[in-house]
Structure formats: structure tokens, C-alpha cells
């Protein structure tokens, strides 16, 4: 892998002045979220886009996407409440988590959630008891080579199991309308969607007149990071359409997808401060005031390699180990990745993680080592027009914080 160097230039993310704003914090440009949603809408106009709330559940993000007409993929009663508070239509809510408690199903049913995802017989039976007549979709386990985070080991049914589950759901009085898959998070191979579509089509063919009428393309749409090229949404859309065309003579399902990272990642810059620079066993260690417990969980196993920027420090660089501030020995962001930072980087300097709008604040722990959750500052690029800048305090109850 090429070295990941600090970037002295500017980014596409607007950076309005925030006098004396403390770090760490996530600065989120809502105009960039809007642009990403509209770009995906243009690339996949025939697909219902259900935003994966887990990627970034900030109330301002949800309210913006409600205004844009998005649907939502949710995984818990907490996410359900956030969507409803933001004004989401119950008919546009999809419960995508196949692991559900009785109370989860009851909450979803009471709120009018449109569909539920399942991948196990016991869950089908639970849905039949607690949400009779509900629309359900079965999640297939498909190959996820090329993904930063594979899912197939934890979720999904085989093709044989999917056929049996759809038949079981229909026999139990459920609307067994859906089949779907997930190619893994940050999927770098656009052909992965084609393979998933082919697998879903094989299941549909075996069901004949009872073939599913909905196809969930899942998420996994990638965004740029420092660890290699990624296909853009147009490339993914081309692969999807090509695979659908193969089966179009006999199967034309209604389409939905669950983008998360692709809509919010590039909108975010996570800003951190250098706390300590030290030499350990001949290597330079740079310690920040943010780590794996305050929002950078995806650096585990160095699976996501963020683009870095060091404002005001753009001279000679050298390799460094990048670590967080906690007393946990595992709180190391990049040890093996060739991260290069300015040689004159010093305590008090700022290090920025670009493309950090997804799976950062939503992954942050609450109170480890007494450290607070990651604050989120939302703003909108003045060129796009819009809202006032403000800070979301994660310690407060969910809801719009304007």
C-alpha cells in the first residue's frame, strides 16, 4: 500500500470558522449530504433509497433526507423514534435488522413500519405472531469479497434456506414479497452487486408464480479513502442494471437499496488535536485526543484508512504510529499502515480525518475513561444556502437540536 500522507490542501467539505471550538469534534456539511443523495437519486432513479440510519443518525441529517423524499432503513426502536421525530413517513420505513426482539417487532408494527427483513425460521414465526400480514423480505448471504467489513458470516440465508423461508412466511400469512442481500460495507468491487442479483434471481426462479416482487440491493456503496480506488455510484449502477437486464425477460422486481456511508461519509471532517509525540522502540508515535472509542472504531484492524490533513503543517513528512488517548492498549489507529505525518507536528496541532461523516459519532462510546461522546457540529455550505451552524450534544435526548 502506498503511504498515507497528510494532505496540506483543501477539501470539498466547507469549513466555516468556529472560533475556539474544542476537539475532538465531527464537522458535518449538510449540503454535501444533499448532493450525495441527489447524485445517487440520479444514478439509480428506479431504486427506492432507504438511508441506513446507523451510518449517522444526527437529527439534522434525518430531517434533510426526509425533505429530500428518502425512505429509511432502521435497526432498533431508538432509530425508529429518531426517524419519526424527523418526520419520516411510516410507509417509508424498513426494519432491516434480522435480529429482533418481540418488543422491537411490536414497536415497528405499532408505528406502521412498511417491511421487515428476516433470515431465520424463528424470526419468521415471530413476525407472523406479532405482525400478522406484514411485508417481509429474506436476506441472502452472498459473497462479500472486496468489502472492508464482510457480513455474510453473521447474517443471511443460503439460497435453499431463502426458498424455504419465503414459503414459510407465505404459509404463515405474511406478505413474502421480498428478497435481498448485502455485499458488505465499503464494497470496492461493483461486480459484487451483480453476483447478489444473480443469487436473488435463482431464488426467484425456484419460487415460480410466487417469486418475490421486491429486490433489496442492500448497502455497501463505497466512498474514497486512502487505501485504494473505489467505484463511484455510477459504476455501481451500471453493474446493477447489467445484472438486472439478464433476468428482465421474466423478473422485474421493484427495487430498493440501503445506502449509508455513501450519503454521509464525504460530508464529515473529524478534527482532532495532537496531545503527545513520543519515540517508542525507534518509532514515532503521535497521540491524538480522539481514538477508537470516540468515533474511530472503523480503524480496528486498520480496515478503513482515512485521508488525513494537517492544517498549517505541510513540510517534510515521515512515518508515524497514530494512537488514541485512552489507557487501553488497543486504542491504536494505525500501526501497520504507512501513515506519514509532518516531522514538525507538535502537541496542539490539528489532525483532520476526511470522509469521516459515517460510522464515527454513531460508533463513539459513552464515558470510557470519562471521555464524553463525540460532538457533532452541523453546518451548510453557504453556496447551498440553509441553516445556522450549531452543535449537537450527544448527552441530550434525541431530537432536533436547533
Superfamily of domain 4-27+265-392: Lyase, Ornithine Decarboxylase; Chain A, domain 1 (2.40.37.10)
Residue 283 has φ and ψ, to the nearest 5°, of -120, 145
- Which residue among 83, 236, 314, 327 is the active-site one? 327
Q: Tell me, what's the pLDDT at 146?
A: 61
In the chain, where does the domain assigned CATH 2.40.37.10 lie? 4-27+265-392
In the chain, where does the domain assigned CATH 3.20.20.10 lie? 57-259
Q: Tell me, what's the pLDDT at 6?
A: 54
Q: Tell me, what's the pLDDT at 129?
A: 98
Which residues, 6+ apart, have CB-to-CB distance to 17 below 8 Å? none
Q: Tell me, what's the pLDDT at 342?
A: 96
- pTM comes to 0.89
Which SS3 state, helix, strand or coil, does residue 236 take?
helix
Dist. CA 270–CA 25, nearest whole Å:
6
Pick the CATH number of 57-259 from 3.30.365.10, 3.20.20.370, 3.20.20.10, 2.60.40.1220: 3.20.20.10
Which residue reads 474514497 in cell numbers? Answer: 224
Which pairs from 36-39 meet CB under 8 Å and 24+ separation? Answer: 36/262, 36/263, 36/264, 36/266, 36/267, 37/65, 37/68, 37/70, 37/263, 38/68, 39/233
Dist. CA 39–CA 21, nearest whole Å:
32
> Within 13 Å and on the Cβ side, how many CA atoms surround 61?
34
Q: What is the DSSP string of 20-51?
A: T--SSEEEEEHHHHHHHHHHHHHH-TTEEEEE
Q: Tell me, what's the pLDDT at 87?
A: 98
50 is catalytic: no
Dist. CA 140–CA 153, nearest whole Å:
11
Q: Tell me, what's the pLDDT at 382?
A: 61
Query: pLDDT by residue for the chain (402 residues), tens digit each?
Result: 345 555 433 333 444 435 457 899 999 999 999 999 999 999 999 999 999 999 999 999 999 999 999 999 999 999 999 999 999 999 999 999 999 999 999 999 999 998 999 999 999 999 999 999 999 999 999 876 766 666 667 899 999 999 999 999 999 999 999 999 998 778 878 889 999 999 999 999 999 999 999 999 999 898 877 777 788 899 999 999 999 999 999 999 999 999 999 999 999 999 999 999 999 999 999 999 999 999 999 999 898 999 999 998 888 999 999 999 999 999 999 999 999 999 999 999 999 999 999 999 999 888 888 888 899 999 997 654 333 444 433 343 333 332
Q: How many CB atoms sit inside 10 A of residue 202's CB?
A: 15
Q: Tell me, what's the pLDDT at 11?
A: 35
User: Quick one: 180 exposed, middle or buried, by C-beta within 10 A (0-12, 13-18, 19+)?
Assistant: buried
CB of 184 closer than 8 Å to CB of 148? yes
**Residue 24, preceding bond cis, omega within 30 degrees?**
yes
Amino acid at each position: 500500500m502506498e503511504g498515507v500522507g497528510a494532505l496540506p490542501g483543501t477539501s470539498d467539505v466547507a469549513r466555516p470558522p468556529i472560533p475556539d471550538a474544542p476537539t475532538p469534534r465531527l464537522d458535518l456539511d449538510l449540503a454535501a449530504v444533499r448532493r450525495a443523495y441527489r447524485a445517487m437519486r440520479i444514478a439509480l432513479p428506479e431504486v427506492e433509497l432507504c438511508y441506513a440510519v446507523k451510518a449517522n443518525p444526527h437529527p439534522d441529517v434525518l430531517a434533510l433526507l426526509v425533505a429530500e423524499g428518502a425512505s429509511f432503513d432502521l435497526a432498533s426502536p431508538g432509530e425508529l423514534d429518531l426517524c419519526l421525530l424527523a418526520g419520516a413517513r411510516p410507509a417509508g420505513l424498513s426494519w432491516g435488522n434480522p435480529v429482533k426482539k418481540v418488543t422491537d417487532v411490536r414497536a415497528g408494527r405499532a408505528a406502521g413500519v412498511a417491511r421487515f427483513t428476516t433470515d431465520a425460521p424463528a424470526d419468521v414465526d415471530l413476525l407472523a405472531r406479532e405482525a400478522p400480514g406484514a411485508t417481509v423480505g429474506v436476506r441472502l448471504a452472498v459473497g462479500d469479497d472486496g468489502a472492508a467489513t464482510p457480513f455474510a458470516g453473521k447474517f443471511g440465508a443460503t439460497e435453499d434456506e431463502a426458498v424455504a423461508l419465503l414459503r414459510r412466511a407465505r404459509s404463515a400469512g405474511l406478505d413474502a414479497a421480498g428478497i435481498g442481500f448485502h455485499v458488505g460495507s465499503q464494497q470496492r468491487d461493483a461486480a459484487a452487486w451483480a453476483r447478489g442479483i444473480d443469487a436473488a434471481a435463482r431464488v426467484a426462479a425456484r419460487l415460480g408464480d410466487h417469486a418475490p416482487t421486491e429486490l433489496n440491493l442492500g448497502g455497501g456503496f463505497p466512498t474514497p479513502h486512502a487505501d485504494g480506488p473505489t467505484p463511484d455510484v455510477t459504476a455501481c449502477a451500471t453493474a446493477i442494471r447489467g445484472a438486472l437486464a439478464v433476468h428482465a425477460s421474466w423478473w422485474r422486481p421493484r427495487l430498493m437499496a440501503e445506502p449509508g456511508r455513501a450519503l454521509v461519509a464525504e460530508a464529515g471532517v473529524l478534527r482532532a488535536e495532537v496531545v503527545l509525540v513520543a519515540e517508542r522502540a525507534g518509532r514515532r508515535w503521535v497521540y491524538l485526543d480522539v481514538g477508537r472509542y470516540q468515533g474511530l472504531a472503523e480503524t480496528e484492524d486498520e480496515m478503513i484508512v482515512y485521508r488525513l490533513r494537517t492544517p498549517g503543517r505541510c513540510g517534510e513528512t515521515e512515518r508515524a504510529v497514530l494512537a488514541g488517548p485512552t489507557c487501553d492498549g488497543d486504542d491504536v489507529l494505525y500501526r501497520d499502515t504507512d501513515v506519514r505525518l509532518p516531522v514538525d507536528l507538535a502537541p496542539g496541532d490539528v489532525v483532520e480525518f476526511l470522509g469521516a461523516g459515517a460510522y464515527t459519532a454513531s460508533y463513539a462510546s459513552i464515558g470510557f475513561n470519562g471521555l464524553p461522546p463525540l460532538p457533532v457540529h452541523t453546518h451548510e455550505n453557504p453556496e447551498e444556502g440553509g441553516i445556522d451552524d450549531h452543535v449537537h450534544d450527544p448527552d441530550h435526548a434525541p431530537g432536533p437540536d436547533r
